[in-house]
Each structure stands twice: as C-alpha cells, then as structure tokens.
Homo-oligomer: A and B are copies of this chain.
Amino acid sequence: MNQLFDRLQNELKKKNINLSYQRLKVLEYLTQNQCHPTVEQIYTDLEKEISTLSKTTVYNTLKKMVSEGLVRIITIEDNETRYDINTHDHGHFKCEICKNIFDFDINMDLVLTKGLERFKILDRNVYFKGICPGCLSNSK
C-alpha cells in the first residue's frame, strides 16, 4: 500500500505489537483519512465493514498506538478527542464555521520558549482557530 502504512507496519513489528485485523483497519482508516477523526467517526465508518466491531476496540487500539507513539492525540475542543497519524510537527487550524481542521507547516524550533530553559519538552502543540478561506468567501 502506501509508504506511511509500510512504515507503520515495520514499527509495529519492531515493537512486537500484533497487527490484528481490527488494528490494521483502524490504522488504515487513519492513514486514508488524515482529517483527524474522532473515535465516533472511526467507529461509525469501520462498523459498516466490520459489523462486529466494538467501540471499545477502537478506544483500545488508539490508546495502544498513542502510547507507542504511532498516533498522536489532537486536543482542540474540550469535548472531542481527535487522532492524527501524522506525527511530524505541524500546526492545526480549526475553522469555527465548517469545523474542519487544516494542517499547516510550522517550525517549532522558531517558537521561542523564554522561561522554559530548565524544562524537558517532550511534546509541542500549536493550534489556531478562526475562519477558513472557503467559509470566508461564502460569507461575503
């Protein structure tokens, strides 16, 4: 399949994680839908294909992948946890009208961290909110 997916499979093998059918499907879904889906979205879509799928399995799989560093949690809104398989540093922009989330490049090293010299930084997150070009032009 695609590059990202091969890489994931390798990493899983290295970490001795079985790639069960359900896990495969969740990872495949995240790979093909890099729109930062919620558990609900993942479950609803996959359940069409795997009728026996349990939502708990989706939660379990995601928790595992997050703890292994293959998937990243995106927390923008307090009431919805989203998941992102693209773990390289990038920012997120959430449109307050259409609710879509857009990725954007960011150089985290340029983010000045005055006052954090003695802190050990393990994870950096940047997210903006506003209105996307599409919704901007619609509202004119």
Please give the residue numbers on chain A whose beta carbons come within 8 Å of chain B beta carbons, in ascending order.
73, 75-78, 80-81, 91, 93, 96, 102, 104-107, 110-116, 118-133, 136
Contacts and interface: CB of A to CB of B under 8 A. Distances in A.
3 smallest beta-carbon distances between A and B, as pairs: A78-B81, A123-B129, A118-B133
The oligomer's copy count stands at 2
A20 to B, nearest CB: 25
Contact of A122 (B91, B116, B130): B130
A101 B44 CA distance: 35
Contacts of A133: 118-119
A116 B136 contact: no
Given A75-B76, A75-B78, A81-B78, A111 B106 contact: yes
